[in-house]
């Protein structure tokens, strides 16, 4: 199982993940395009001190994965652990599939 630790993309002392640019940078740094092509499951660790993970960050980081894998494929491949962000994930899945390629 591959590990993506969101803590690596968090500014020290800031409990918020925000911004499309930051999400896109995190996607590239985590090599998600390659992970999407692999058969490997992906654990995404969300730091417990996370206060919020906004939709622009989430969609920039995971939108392409959702569109590539579709909803169930994404849910099966990506496992979010740590802080519970289930609501953000489910909302992001709906948004990514609804808006197509625009963010």
Residue 79: the pLDDT is: 98
The whole domain housing 74 covers 2-99
Domain count, the chain: 1
Is residue 101 very low, low, confident or very high in pLDDT (cuts 50, 70, 90)? Answer: very low
Residue 88: the pLDDT is: 96
Residue 50 and residue 30: Cα distance in Å, rounded? 19
Quick one: tokens of 73? 């494929």
Residue 103 pLDDT > 70: no
- The whole-number average pLDDT for the span 74-90 is 97
pLDDT, tens only, 17-49? 999 999 999 999 999 999 999 999 999 999 999
Residue 6 and residue 26: Cα distance in Å, rounded? 8
Residue 100: the pLDDT is: 47
Quick one: tokens of 42? 């992906």
pLDDT, tens only, 41-72? 999 999 999 999 999 999 999 999 999 999 99
Residue 99: the pLDDT is: 62
Tell me the DSSP string of the chain: -EEEEGGGGS-TT--EE--HHHHHHHHHHTTHHHHHHSS--EEEEE-TT--EE-HHHHHHHHHHHHHHHHHHHHHHHEEEEES--HHHHHHHHHHHHHHTT--
């Amino acid at each position: 199982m591959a590990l993506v630790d969101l803590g690596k993309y968090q500014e020290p002392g800031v409990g918020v993940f925000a911004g499309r640019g930051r999400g896109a940078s995190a996607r590239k740094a985590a090599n998600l395009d390659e992970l999407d092509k692999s058969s490997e499951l992906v654990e995404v660790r969300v730091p417990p001190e996370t206060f919020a993970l906004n939709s622009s960050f989430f969609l920039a980081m995971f939108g392409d994965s959702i569109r590539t894998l579709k909803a169930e494929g994404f849910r099966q491949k990506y496992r979010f652990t740590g802080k519970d962000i289930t609501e953000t994930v489910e909302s992001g899945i709906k948004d990514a599939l609804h808006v197509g390629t625009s963010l």
